[in-house]
Amino acid sequence: MKSLFYPKTIAVIGASQHTHKVGNVIFRNLLKDFRVIPINPNTKEILGKKTFPSVKKVKEKIDLAVITTKAQLVPKIMEECGRKKIKNIIIISSGFKETGNIKLETKVKTILNKYKITCIGVNCLGILNTENNLDTLFLPQNKLKRPKKGNISFICQSGAIGAAILDLYSEQDYGFAKFISYGNATNTDESDLLNYLNKDKKTKVICMYIEAVQNGKKFIKTINKIKKPIIILKGGKTKKGIEAALSHTGSLAGNSKIYSAVFKQNRIIEANSIEELFDIAKIFSKLKKPKGKKILVITNGGGYSIITSDEIDKSKLELAELSPQTRMALKKTMPKTVNIRNPLDLVGDATTKRYEKAIKLANKDKNINILLIIILYQTSTLTQDITDIIIKNNKKPTIVIATGGNKTEIIKRKLERHNIPCYGFPKNAVTSLSKFL
């Protein structure tokens, strides 16, 4: 499957001169970084590139074909691709089993198997590889922001969810390695994609949105072999959700309790929402596993220490017991208003220097494995160099909770660029940490 993500020559079948057409968007996406051949029998040139009426008329080797035509034309095009010995195809076109046209999709699958073609789709958004700028997504870049390079790969059965997620989390500065919208999974399913990403050196964490797996036994066998963390959001958990899944990708979403049991038995992390899916992914993508599970909370807000302690207790995590040496050192360096305990509340007039002293002592304490630092930047005594202090003293796995507007977001972005995961609220941070540990 590697050649699917690393092609040299790409044919866009259904390339168009009209800027609002899918075939035009994909053609433009690829034009800068690849040798792209437009296929369209009704025009001679697109964006200065000579068009061909069919792949049969192209003399050079084609590594990947992207099909954007009407569904009824796909079988004929597939035959031409097969004879041309094109081994990788992405079929964007919809109008197959998701609309009840099972016969047409079966015909396409037969042709794919006949010529041993690897196919993403039908009925999909496309794929993205940030390493080489492979971008077959049919949504324009001025409307859907593409992510920066990173180590999270996202397999998504829904194109709409995939598009919204990419746009949102690209804006929030998440880094992705691969994005794959696989639609109806006509001959390449989630198990095949998992196998590939398990070998992909750029992928550290695998996120998935699925409605139903195509082959249960194959899926269980596959996830048993995956060595990377897999985080899954399962759609179609209720009666109405199952009905919606059937009309979406033609998938019959199975019993959610069975899925949850399989996930648990095979060490798969199940997310309960889209937000939670990527909250969890963030911590896996940025942190190394700590040596233990004992947490120190450092804060400048008493209310936040209470809420965070509640979340830690509910998640069955453990607050660290400060060593006698740390307690003594804190008493010597902190004002009398600071109660030397865990959570360590540095109180509302906490300065950047006070945070620095607390963090340095925590790093020396062998009873502490993880630092959960709460920054309420709205106080007048904190300065922006709080980020430099945390980055400089990032000796143990560290997570930051910071709630606020633009100024707070600047702090969070800087910390995350240095692999320190940041969250807006205690529940998000603690839930993600509990899944990580």
Listed residue (9, 188, 181, 190) closest to 86, CA to CA: 9
Place of tokens 């041309």: 84
Amino acid 51 reads T
pLDDT at 55 over 90: yes
Sign of CA dihedral 201, 203, 205, 206: negative
Residue 46, helix vs strand vs coil? strand
Calpha distance 144→43 (Å, rounded): 28
- Top CATH class of 1-124 equals alpha beta
Q: Model pTM?
A: 0.92
Query: Phi then psi for 241, rounded to 5 degrees?
Result: -65, -40
Residue range 293-299: mean pLDDT, rounded: 98
Mean pLDDT of 301-306: 94
Is the pLDDT at 74 greater than 60? The verdict is yes
Percent of the chain with pLDDT over 90: 92
pLDDT of 14 over the 50 cut: yes
Mean pLDDT of 334-346: 96
Domain 144-286 = CATH 1.10.10.10: no
Q: Cα(192)–Cα(306) distance, rounded to whole angstroms?
A: 45
Report residue 435 as tokens: 């899944």
Write out pLDDT tens, residues 84-106: 999 999 999 999 999 999 999 99
The arithmetic mean of pLDDT across residues 324-350, rounded, is 96
pLDDT at site 336: 94
Q: Cα–Cα distance between 268 and 275 in angstroms, integer?
A: 17
* Mean pLDDT taken over the chain: 94
- Residue 345: strand pairing partners: 299
Q: To which H or E segment does residue 396 belong?
A: none
Q: Which amino acid is at 186?
A: T
* β partners of residue 370: 295
Q: Which pLDDT value is given to residue 240?
A: 61
For residue 383, pLDDT beyond 80: yes
CATH code at 289-436: 3.40.50.261
Residue 197 class from Cβ within 10 Å (0-12 exposed, 13-18 middle, 19+ buried)? buried
373 by Cβ neighbours in 10 Å (0-12 / 13-18 / 19+) ranks as buried
Q: What's the pLDDT score for residue 211?
A: 87
What are 117-164's pLDDT values in tens digits?
A: 999 999 999 999 999 999 999 999 999 999 999 999 999 999 999 999
What local confidence, expressed as pLDDT, does residue 326 receive?
98
Residue 81 identity: C
pLDDT of 252 over the 50 cut: no
The pLDDT value recorded for residue 248 is 47
Residues of the chain with CATH 3.40.50.720: 1-124
Domain with CATH 3.40.50.261 in the chain: 144-286, 289-436
